[in-house]
Amino acid sequence: MTEWKMICRIDDIPVLGARRVSRAQGMDVAVFRNDANEVFALLDRCPHKGGPLSQGMVMGQRVACPLHNWTISLCDGQAAAPDQGCTPSFAVKLENGLVHLDAHELANHATDLTRPTAGPACKQAA
Ligand code: FES
């Protein structure tokens, strides 16, 4: 049986925006709200190069990554063709104006993924 953890009120998430939920392990989860008051949750990591999807523009059931404009489905995390890739999605429940995430997923899902680091390439050994 799913144990739901209350995250916030839907009104705490900007329309066409997102709110980040930090976790004890792993990257933040981004909880999105569209203009139909639907809520979605994805790992805050674009499948392209790790951009913060929580800072992207929500359009219907998709979000445009702020870095290179890939479009990611809020329903399942899949990148729209011709781009390829997927970011992990999380179960989310909206009940009586309150947003909940699956407590088990929040603690355990995709905790091994990190944001790519920018910078010069490693020096190769001679
Ligand atoms: S990192 Fe998201 S489109 Fe490139």
Q: What is the pLDDT of residues 3-33, one digit of tens each?
A: 999 999 999 999 999 999 999 999 999 999 9
Which CATH class name applies to 4-108?
A: mainly beta
**8 Å CB contact between 90 and 29:** yes
pLDDT per residue as tens digits for the range 41-91: 999 999 999 999 999 999 999 999 999 999 999 999 999 999 999 999 999
Q: Can you give the pLDDT at residue 85?
A: 96
* Span from the CA of 71 to the centroid of ligand 1 (angstroms): 9
Measured in whole angstroms, the distance separating CA 27 from the mean position of its chain's CA atoms is 9
What ranges do the domains of the chain cover? 4-108
In 3-state terms the chain splits into helix, strand, coil percentages (rounded to 5) of 10, 35, 55
> Which of 42, 55, 65 should be mutated for ligand 1, with most atoms under 8 A from CB?
65
Q: Can you give the pLDDT at residue 120?
A: 67
Residue nearest to atom 3 of ligand 1 (CA): 68
Q: Can you give the pLDDT at residue 124?
A: 53
CA distance 105 to 71: 24
